Amino acid sequence: MSVASNEVLERLQALHPKKIDLSLERIERLLTALGNPEKKLAPVIHVAGTNGKGSVTQYMRVALEHTGKRVHTYTSPHLIHFHERIRIGRRASFSSLITEAELVAALEDCEKANDGAPITFFEITTAAAFLVFSRHEADAVILEVGLGGRLDATNVIAKPRLCVITPVSVDHVAFLGPDLPAIAAEKAGILKAGVTAVIGPQEPEALAVIEKCAAEVGAPLILHGRDWSVIPSQHESDKMSVKVPQLTYERLPVPALVGPHQALNGGLAVAAIDQVPEFRVGHHALGEGLTNAKWPARLQRIDDGKLIKNLNQGTELWLDGGHNPGAAVALAGMAAEWKAKAPRPLILITGMLDTKDATAFFKPLAPHVHAVVTMEVPGQDASLPAKQLAEFATKAGVKQVKAAKSLSDAFEQAAKFSDKLVPGGPPARVLICGSLYLAGHILEADGREIK
């Protein structure tokens, strides 16, 4: 990617207020100066939630594209390059990441219209995404919330076609509130009068808040367990059915994205598409969406490249950006499945930011993990020191923990644990997790590009 967009992004970063007060005033001011591009978009699917937003977005996008629909998508954060956040639906082809020229033009237009006023980086880049999307015809726009929902920059869309809330977990407590009900209220802030919202599996206290908020604004809800559900096949392990209000989609393929939680993410995407008559795409396209969606750093197997060469021969290497308790529960579910179907000692390489609850992250994983290697997240001032993170892992019940000085040292320590754990047994399974920033660094260090 060119340095041109990086230079503009750095200038926009400098406009960021020293203290963030979550508000829609700054982005509304900028959008007015730009001629309100957010009012010129194709029908919008607005996706909030803590975990699974990206996967659900990709399932929906690919399914819609398989019927020839042009779909713009906006996701965050990026892993390697900013361009990953903005995907444009093109004529006669599937969508592609925004080009360097398109990105620079939109960013500079926003910079000029903003005229030096304080604005957060996410707000001004969200405005740039709206500007780009307004310049390209499309059949649908899928917007992923950046933080929370109620005061997120994407929530300037007055009347989305559909809202989706994926599972809510405790995360970003400094901005969203100290507990699950408070965080659920922020996520439910995307609900709009008369706009149907499809709700993923929720803890009871989160669901109660979402239902209360929906009743207050007059948003019809399609709830997991009541209105839609995923039914595993009794006879085919690679098939599932998704029951929605009017019918059941029988024998859909299990999602290609790895992890038992992905069946529910896939089911949520199917239930969401089913709610919009003009988006209903049929069994074949839904299956294509479930099997062809790609979402890097979500239980991604890394079986070639530079990094795996630093581990013992035969070692499995996996990467996941999960960084909150809900994500850890999903990873623990995968670890249990591994243990049942293909047992190997499990070693974590983990780096986390100091805004995360590290003990709560390690707790569900501890029973499944043989050893943890901690490290700082490279390039992140807010990273927890490796030694402090190691203490959190020990506190959560992990027996063998080592703090590493660097990424190369972390791989070396993991290899040593592997030697110790598997004399005569199968090679270990190494899972890198704890931070999307760490995941992005790993992919870049491995020489990978995201397309």
Going residue by residue through the chain, which has 451 residues, state the pLDDT in tens, using 9 for 90 and above.
467 899 999 999 899 877 767 789 999 999 999 999 999 999 999 999 999 999 999 999 999 999 999 999 999 999 999 999 999 998 766 899 999 999 999 999 999 999 999 999 999 999 999 999 999 999 999 999 999 999 999 999 999 999 999 999 987 777 777 899 999 999 999 999 999 999 999 999 999 999 999 999 999 999 999 999 999 998 898 999 999 999 999 999 999 999 999 999 999 999 999 999 999 899 999 999 999 999 999 999 999 999 999 898 999 999 999 999 999 999 999 999 999 999 999 999 999 999 999 999 999 999 999 999 999 999 999 999 999 999 999 999 999 999 999 999 999 999 999 988 877 778 999 999 999 999 999 999 999 988 8
- Give the pTM: 0.94
Q: How far apart are the C-alpha atoms of 163 and 221, rounded to whole Å?
A: 9
The reply to whether CATH 3.90.190.20 applies to domain 300-445 is: yes
- Judge if 3-292 and 300-445 fold alike in CATH terms: no
CATH number for the domain formed by residue range(s) 3-292: 3.40.1190.10
Amino acid present at 149 = G
Q: Please report, for the chain, the start and end positions of each structural domain, with discontinuous segments joined by +.
A: 3-292, 300-445
Q: How far apart are the C-alpha atoms of 352 and 290, rounded to whole Å?
A: 30
Q: What are the backbone dihedrals phi and psi of residue 241, each rounded to the nearest 5 degrees, phi first?
A: -120, 150
Which residues does 48 contact at the CB level (< 8 Å), separation at least 6? 145, 148, 149, 152, 163, 164, 165, 166, 187, 188, 189, 190
CB 90 within 8 A of CB 133: no
CB 45 within 8 A of CB 141: yes
Q: How far apart are the C-alpha atoms of 16 and 101, rounded to whole Å?
A: 24
Q: How far apart are the C-alpha atoms of 385 and 394, rounded to whole Å?
A: 15
Alpha helices in 14-52 (DSSP H): 25-33
CB 32 within 8 A of CB 127: no
Going by C-alpha positions, the residue among 244, 274, 271, 285 that lies closest to residue 69 is 285
Q: What are the backbone dihedrals phi and psi of residue 447, each rounded to the nearest 5 degrees, phi first?
A: 75, 30
